Structure 1
Amino acid sequence: MKFRFNYFALLIVVMLYACKQPSATPKTQTLLLSFKQASEKLKENPDLQQRLAYWNTQLKNNEVKADSVLRSKVHYNLAGVFYGMNKLDSLKYHMQKAWELMGNRKGYTEDQVQLYSGLGNLALLELNIHQENYYYNAAAQMLLADTAIKLTPKQKITVFFAAAQSSFQLRQFKNAFNFNRSAIALLPKLKDHIKEEFRAYNQMAVCFYRANGSTDSLYSYIKKMEQLYKKHPDFLNVKFIYDSKVSYFTTTKNLDSALIYNKKRLAIDVLDENENGKNAESVLRGNLFTSYTDLAGVYVAIKQLDSAKYYLNKCNSFLKKYPNKVDDENMLLYDQNLADFYFASKKYTLAAQQYDVLLARTKFVYELENARAVAEMGTIVQLKAKDKSINTLYETVALSSAKLQSNRLWLAVSTLGFLLAITVALLLYFIQGQRRLKSETERIQLEQRLLRTQIEPHFIFNTLSALQSFIRFNQNEKALKYLQQFGRLLRSSLQLSRESKVKLSEEIETLENYLSLQQMRYDDAFNYEINIDDSHDAESITIPPMLMQPFVENAIIHGINPNVKGGIITVNFDVKNETLLIVIKDNGKGFSKETAVKNHKSLATAISKERLAIIAKQSGEAAGIEIKSEENKGTTVWLTIPIKGMV
C-alpha cells in the first residue's frame, strides 16, 4: 500500500513537471509591454499608413519571428489597422494568423477574449450572423466564467454589448438580456459612461420589443433614455429614442403617436441621406427604407390611403436607387403593407396577387435562412477541427521539450505519456460524443423548422383559394370581411414564424381565428367549441406552433358537409403529468379503416407525426397522434405533447 502511494505521488510530481507551461522570457515580457504601449499610442494617430508601417516592421523583427506569442500580437494589431481601412481580405488573413498562433495557448485568456471578439467583428462584416453570434458568445462566456480577466471595464462592456446584439438578432432573448445586464453592472466602473448607458437602455428596449415582452418594461427603458438625453443632448442620438417609441406605440396600438415618431425618425434619416448620399448610415443600414415602410403601414391602418401610397412609392424608389440595402425582414413587411394597401383600396385582385408574392418571399426567406445557418455552422465545425489539430501540435511540442529536460526520469515520462494518451483518447471520445449530440440537436431543430414551413403554405393556399372564389363570384362584402380576418391571421403567423415554441394561449387564439375564418368560408355549415380547464395556465405552457391546425382542417374538409347545417367541431385541452392532451372531434361522415388505408393519406398528418417524433426525441417523453374514425359518426384525433421543460 505504501509503495502504491509513493508511486502515484511520484507520478503526480512528474505530471506537474512535464506539463508546466514555459513562462515568457524577460525579453519577451519587455516586448509585450512595449507592444501594448505602442498600440495605445498609435490608436491616437489617425494616419493608418503609419500604424501599418510600424507593425509590418515589427513582423520582420527576428525576436518576433522566434516567438509565436509576439507574432500573434503583431498580426492582431495589423488586423486592427486593416479593419480601420475596411480591407476585409487582409483583416481576415491577419485575424486567422493571430488565432492560429494564440488561440489554444494556456495562460493568455485576455488575448483569447480579444481574438474571439475580433473574429466576431470579422463575421459581422461578412454578414455571417451565426458565426458572429458564436464568437461573441464565446468571448462573453469567458468573461462571465473568469471575473479576474485583466481587460478594462470598457473592453468587457463592448464584448457584452456585441454578444447581446447578435443574440437578439437570432431571437436568443435570454442570452441577450443576460449580456445586457452584465454590461449594465459594469457601468459604474467607467468614469464616463453616458454613451454606454444609453446604448444599454436602448438594447434592453429592443430586446423587450423583439421578444414580445412587457410593454411596461419597454416603456421604462424609453424613459431612462429620455432622461439621459435631456442631460446630454450633444453626446447622444435622439433617433434611437424615436425608434423605441415607434416600437412601443405600434405595439400598444397608439397609431397617432406612432405616426408622430415615425415622421421624426424619417426626418433624421432623410437629412442623413441628403448630407451623405449613398454612404449615409440610413442608406447603408436600410433605416430610411424602414421609416418609409413603417409610415406606409400606419397610414394604411388609419385609412389615409393617399399618404400610404406616397410612402409605398418612396419604398419602391429606394429599392431602385439603392439595391441590396434592404434585409429580408423589411422586405416582408413592405410586401405585407402593399397587400394591405391594395385590399384597403378595394383592389382585390392586386391584393390577392400581392399575398401570393408575400407567401413566396416568406418561403424563400425560410429556405435561405436554413441553408445559410447550416453552411455557417459547418464552417464553425471546420474551424474547431483546425483548432484541435493546432492544439495537438502544441501538446506534442510541449511533450518533446519536457522529455529533453527530464532525461533522468525517462521511465516515469514514458509511463506518463501512456497515461496521457489514454486520458486524451477518453477526452477526445467524450468531446466527439458531445459534438455529435450538439450536431444532432441542431439538425433536429432545423428539421423541425423545415417541417413547419411545409404545413404553413398548405394552410395559406387553401385559404387564398376560398378568397379567390368570393372575388370570382363578386361577393365583395363577404370577400372584404374574409380578407380582413385572413390578414390578421397571416400577420399573426408571420410574427410567430421564427419561433420554435409559442404560448398555448397564442396558439388557441390563432386556432380560433382559423375556425372563425373557415366558418365564414362554409357559410356557417358548422359550429365549433374550444375548451380548456381554467385551472391550467395557458400563458405558462408552450408548444410547437401549427400542430393542431392540420387536423382541424381535415375535420372541416373531410368531416363537414358544406351543404348541410349542424356540423360540430370541438377541441379540448387537458394537462396531466406534464403532458398536454389535445382532443379534436367532429361529427362528420367519418371513414372506415379500409378507406383510411386506401385513400386517406394526409401529408399534413405525416409531417405532424414527424414533428412529434422530433419533440419526443428532444424531451425524452412520450409524444404521438392517435386517430379513430367511424363511418357516419365522425372522427376523433388525440394529440399527446410533452410540456416538461418547454417553457
Structure 2
Amino acid sequence: MRIVIKYLWFLCIMLSTANMLAQVYDEDVAQAPRFTIRGSVIESDTRNPIPNVNVEVNGGAYTTTDYAGDFRIEAKKGDELIIRHKDFETVYYTIQSNERITVEVESNKEETEYKKLKKFSRSNPNQFESLIDSAETYLKKDAKRSIKFIEKALIESNSVKENAETYEVLGDIYMFWKQYDLAVSNYRISNQNMKTNIVKLKLANAYKLNKNYQESIQTYQGVNKKGLSNWQQVQLHEGLGDVYLLTKNYPLSIDNYEKGLAIAQKHLITPKITDLNSKIAQAYNAKGELQKAEGYFSKSMKLANTENRKRAAEEKVKAADFQSTNNNYTSEIALRKEALEDINDFENDSVLDNESALTPQKQNYKIGNAYALQKDYENAISYLEESIEVADSKEDLIVQKDATRKLSEIYRDAGQFDKALVAYQSYVDLVEKLYTKKEQEISQATRFSKDIVSKQNRILSLESDRTLTESQFKLTAEQAKRQKLIIYSLIGGVLLLLVTALFMFKYIRQQRLANNLLALKSLRSQMNPHFIFNALNSVNSFIASNDERTANKYLTDFSLLMRAVLENSEEDFIPLEKEIKLLELYTKLEHFRFQDKFDYSINIDENINVQDFVIPPMLLQPYIENAVWHGLRYKKLKGHLQIGIAQITSAEIKIMIADDGIGREKSKALKTENQQKQNSKGMGNIKKRVAILNEMYKDKVDVLVDDFQKGEDVGTKVVVTLKKD
C-alpha cells in the first residue's frame, strides 16, 4: 500500500512539474521585453552601404535602410530578423540581444555579368563540362550554389545529350538533399531528352523513396537488362526487392534479392553480397521465418567482418535489431557490445552524424533498454547514463531525451522515486530544448524547400524560354499588330464596361437614396397632421366642458409643442435630448385631459449622455398616444404609463414605453371599423419609417411591441433600441 501511495505521489509531482515548466515558459515568451535593434547593411567587398533594403521582424515590425544603409527596428529575444533586397539573397538572423548588427552581403551581380558575357562572346566549348563539374563538386556542400551552376549549364547547353546530362545532375542534387519529388521530375525530363539505363535506375529509385511504389516497379521492369553492366543488374534486382519489401510482397522481394545475390556472387561484387544477405535476412524476418532470417544475418556478419570495422558494425547492429524484435535480449546485448567496440575503433577516422544508426549514444541506449527489459536495473542505469553523457557531448537531443525518460522509468520501477523525479525534470527540460530546436529546423527546412522550388521553377522557365527560342514558328509584324489591336480593344471594352457599371451603380444608389428621402418626408407629413388633429380634439373637449382656464393652459403648452414639432419636421434625426423634452410636454398634455385615467413616470438613466444619441423625430409620440387613447382610456381603474430610457452598451440604449391598460386585443375589439383603419394606417407609417431609416443608416433603430403583463389588463410594452452613429 505504501509503494502505491509513493508511486501516485511521484506521478502527481511529475505532472505538476511539467505543467509548471510549461506555464513558466509560456509566460516568459509572452512577457519577453522588447528593445530597439540598430543595424546596417553593406556590401562585403566594397563596404558600400545599401539603401532601401527591406528589414522585417517575424513579430510584425517593418522598416527599410536609409541612404547610409542604417536601420532601427523594434524586436524581442528569439524573433527572426529577415533582410530582403532584389540584389542579394534573403538573410535570416535570430535575435539574441539588443546588439548592433552589421549585415555584409554579396550582391547578385554574378549572374547578370555572366549573361552579358555570354551575349557578347562566343561560348567556350569546354564551358559546359566545367559548369557540370562545378555543380557536382558543390552537390553535397551547397545545394543553392550547385543549382546556380546547373542554370548556367542549361544556358550553355547546345544539344539534347547535354540537356539530358544537366537534368540528370539536377536530379542527383535533389536526391542528395532528399527532395525526392523534384528528383523524380528532373530524372523524367532527362529521360525524355535521352533514354539511358543509368537514368532509368535513378528514376526508379527516386520513385521508391517518394513512395510511388507502382511507378517504381514499372520503371525497374522497363529497364533493358541486356544493356546493363553486372553492377547495374544487381542494382535493378536489389531495387525491386526493396520496393516489394516495402509493399509487403515478401516472396517477390526475396526472389529479387536472391537473383541479385547470384549475380553478385558470380562476378565477385563483395559489398553487394554482404548487403543482399542482410536484406534477405530482413525479408525473412518480416515474413516470420525467423530461423532463415538468423542464418542470413549470420552470413552477412561473417562477410562484413572480412571487409572493414564499420561494415561489420553495421551488420551487427542490424542483427541486434533482429534479436530485439524477437525478445532475444541476451543476444542483442552481446551484438551491440561488439558493435560498440568496432565503433570506438573507427569513430575517430570516420564522420558519424547523429542520424546514423552506428552512433555510440544510440547503442548504449539500446543496451540499457535491453537490460531494463530483463529487469537488470543496475546495468541498465549504467548504460543509459553513458548514453546520456555521450549524447550531450554530441548534441544529440533526441537520444538524450529518450535515454533520460527511460532512466526515469527505471528509477521509478526500482523504487528510487527521488532520482526518478530528478531524471524526469531533466527529461522535461530536454523536451523543451528539442521542441525549440525542431521549430528552428522546420523553419530552416521550409525556407530551404522554398528556395529549391523557386530555383526549380526558374530552371523550368529557362527550358521553356529555350523551347520557345528554338521554335521555328515566328509571328510576323502584321500578326503582332493585329494581336495588339485585339488586346487593346478588349482592354478598352472592359474598361468602358467597368466605367459604365460604376456610373450605373452610383446612379442607382443616388436614386434609391432620393426615393428613401422622399418617402420619409411623405411619411413625416402624414404623421404631423395626425398628431395635430388629436391635440386639437383635446382642446375642443376642454372648451366644450367650459373649462377655459385649462383650455388656455393646454393651448400654451400645445403651441410650444407645435413649434418644436414644426422645427424638427424636416430632420431625419434629432438629438435624444430634444425628443425627451417633446415626450415630457406631450405626455403632460395628455395627462391634462385624462387625469382620472392614468398617472405617468419618466425615468432616464443617469449614466446616459443624451447628447451622444440621435433619434427620428415623432418616433415615440405615436406609441404614447396609442397607450393613452387605446389602452389606459378604457381601463376601469386608474392606470399608469411608464417611460424609461436605459443604457445597454456604450453604443446602444433601450427606450421602453409600457402601460397597464386593456391591451391591444381588447382595444381592437372596442374600435369601430373606421377607427381600425385609421390606427393601422398610423402604425403602418411608423413601421415604414423604421424600415427606410434602417436601410439608409444600417439597422440603427429596432422596435419590439409585446404584452406588458399577465392578467385581465395585459397592457402593452414597446421597446425601442437605438444605436449610436
Which interval holds the TM-score relative to the shorter structure?
A: 0.3 to 0.5
Q: RCO greater where, 1 or 2, for CA within 8 Å and sep 6 or more?
A: 1
More helix by share: 1
TM-score, normalised to structure 1, is 0.40
TM-score, normalised to structure 2, is 0.36
More strand by share: 2
